Structures are given as structure tokens and as C-alpha cells.
Amino acid sequence: PRTVFSGIQPTGIPHLGNYLGALSNWVQLQSKAEPDDELIFSIVGYHALTLPQDPKALRSSRTDMLAVLLAIGLDPQRSIIFHQDENPHHTELAWILNCLCSVGRLRRMTTWKSRLATSRNVNEESEVDESLLNAGLFTYPVLQAADILLYKATHVPVGEDQKQHLELCRDLADIFNRTFKARNPLFPLPEHIFTPSKRILSLKDPSSKMSKSAPDAQSRILMTDTATQIKSKIKSAVTDSVPGITYDPISRPGTANLLDMFGACTNENPADIAKRYEGKGHGALKVDVADAVEELLKGPRAELERIRQEKGYLLNIAEDGASRARERSEATMREVKIRVGLA
């Protein structure tokens, strides 16, 4: 049997990219899982703290994310759904793994390097970059490893951008196993689950991905957007001035993005869709893309609006999830402490 672990940060209502690229895969994993597979999905609040957060906004984002996970169809009877910050074992194990991880290894993380590059652009004084970034941002891949290893997860669905972190997680598991040998290795080396999903691009700048931190709110479709909002955002999406519709992600990224969104909503090949619209214009395509997105989102959106009101229910689900997670990680954490000599 497999143990699948995945996490998402509570940083606001997810956009269409998050839904198509990550969350909908979780629901698929759940529906395709074998009866004895274990599924663990975490809302990773500690990771969110690596960037400045307004406490009030973070508090409501945490609850919203739980409501989103339930609204899209994750089943708390089938899967463990919980807040990472309600299981203290995560930070305990992260500390121990931090003490096994070299600084050099973390410096080579591309996520860290791109943070550094960004701070360099902002400050234009390359020597001071590192001192401006917080240590949590440096070491969060180790917390991520702890999140996974705590449940002895065997499979982790992650995007391309996180593959290097999973590699680190495997190495830390291996270092722990070899350093603290007992009769058998403690941690299995988790594998990456590849989920074929397209990167959804910004509606305003098709050279970058749809992102929640982009300043222009028109560049993304949120899971709470109404039909009217979806229509107007897609109508004003940046495309190109080439007549007719063809699927060409390299030279027509904006048009290809509309076709990718369409295809992801209807489970069709974007190139096949393009053929149907060959002689038509962007206007006609946009109307139908908006309809397809609305069709995809209307169910989860209605469910989300309903669940968001049910504060007591959400609280119960969170408490139950946290206690199952803690129970589940207790034995591993005890074994870790025994092996390193702390218990």
C-alpha cells in the first residue's frame, strides 16, 4: 500500500492554476486510490510564515483553504486533511533534519537562488542579499522533508518546480537511515508522482504563470469568481493579432493558454479544439472558454460558499484531522528521538 502526502500553503483563495495544476490532482488521486492506500493532505501554515503575513488574513486563509479542500471533493473520512501547524511533530522533526542538512546543500536549491536573485534586483547591492532574507525561507525545504517523512510517505505528487526539494527529502531520509542505523531503515525514500497538468499562464502576461502574487487581479481567475467575473477576465485576456485560431504555445502563448484552459476543463486535446476554431476569431473562442471554466468551477464554488458558512463543521473537521495526524506521526517521532539519543 502507498502513503501519499501533499501540502498546500494557506495563502488566499486558490486560482484556476492552483486548481488545475495541484488541487484537482489530489481529488483524482483520492478517487483512484486503492482501498489500503493512505492519503494525507496538509494545509501548511508554517510554510506560509516564510513570507510576511498579516495575522488576520492568514487566520482566515487557513479556514478558507480547508473549506476549498472539502468543496472540491476531498473526503475527510477517506483522507487525513489537517493543518500542519496543529501537529507539533512537523517542527520537531524539521529541527532534527536541519541538523543533518548542510548549508551548502540548501544554497544550491533553485528556489533559494531565485529568492536571492529577486532580492538582488530590489536592492542592487549583491553583498547584502542573504542578510535580508529570513532563515525560514532558507531552510523551508527541510521542513517540507519533515512533513513528508513524518508519515513515512511513499509517494508525493509535486510539480516540476518542487522536484529538487523532493530529491533533498530523499537524501535526508537516506542520511538519517545511515547515520542512525537500527535493525531496519526508519524512512522509506518517497517517490515523485507525476501528474500531467499544464501550467496555466497569466491572463495579462502570457510569458509568466498565473500567480496569486501578481499585482493585477485581472490576471487570474479565483475559485470564488462569479460567472460574470470569469467572462470579463477571459474577455480581456491578452492574446495576439494573428487571425484565426491555432495551437502554438511558443509563438502564440496567450491563445495557447486559452486552449489549454479549455482543454483542461473539458478533458480535450487543445490542438483538437484549435481545429474546431480554425476559421473563427478570439472573441468566439473566449466566449466558449469562459463557459467551460464556469462549468468547471460552478459546482466547487457553490459548495465552497456553503461550507464557508459552517464554522462549527469546519472546526470539527480541523480538530479531527489534526488528532488523526498527530496519532499517525507519534510512533515515528518517538522512534526518531530514540534513534538520535533524545529518548
Which residues here bind ligand ATP, judged by CB under 6 A?
8-9, 17-18, 20-22, 159, 161, 199-200, 209-213
Min dist. Cβ of residue 175 to ligand ATP (A): 26
Sheet with 3-8, strands from edge to edge, namely 80-83, 38-43, 3-8, 155-157, 191-193
Min dist. Cβ of residue 161 to ligand ATP (A): 6
Min dist. Cβ of residue 135 to ligand ATP (A): 19
Q: Tell me the residue nearest to ligand ATP as measured from the CB.
A: 21
Cα–Cα distance for residue pair 67/312, rounded to 1 Å: 12
The angle subtended at Cα 56 by Cα 52 and Cα 59, nearest 5°, is 90
Q: Are the CB atoms for 61 and 10 separated by under 8 Å?
A: yes
Cα–Cα distance for residue pair 247/278, rounded to 1 Å: 10
Cα–Cα distance for residue pair 40/322, rounded to 1 Å: 11
Of 49 and 186, the one with the shorter C-beta distance to ligand ATP is: 49
Min dist. Cβ of residue 159 to ligand ATP (A): 3
Of 1 and 215, the one with the shorter C-beta distance to ligand ATP is: 215
The helix/strand/coil state of 45 is: helix
Q: Are the CB atoms for 50 and 83 separated by under 8 Å?
A: no
Of 209 and 233, the one with the shorter C-beta distance to ligand ATP is: 209
Query: How does DSSP classify residue 298?
Result: H
Of 89 and 301, the one with the shorter C-beta distance to ligand ATP is: 301
Strand partners, 6: 41
Min dist. Cβ of residue 341 to ligand ATP (A): 37
Q: Are the CB atoms for 15 and 222 separated by under 8 Å?
A: yes
Q: Which residue has the cell 507519534?
A: 330
Of 9 and 154, the one with the shorter C-beta distance to ligand ATP is: 9
Min dist. Cβ of residue 13 to ligand ATP (A): 10
Min dist. Cβ of residue 314 to ligand ATP (A): 21
Of 71 and 96, the one with the shorter C-beta distance to ligand ATP is: 71
Of 118 and 236, the one with the shorter C-beta distance to ligand ATP is: 118
Contacts of 99 (CB under 8 A, 6+ apart): none
Give the E-state strand segments of the chain in sequence order: 3-8, 38-43, 80-83, 155-157, 191-193
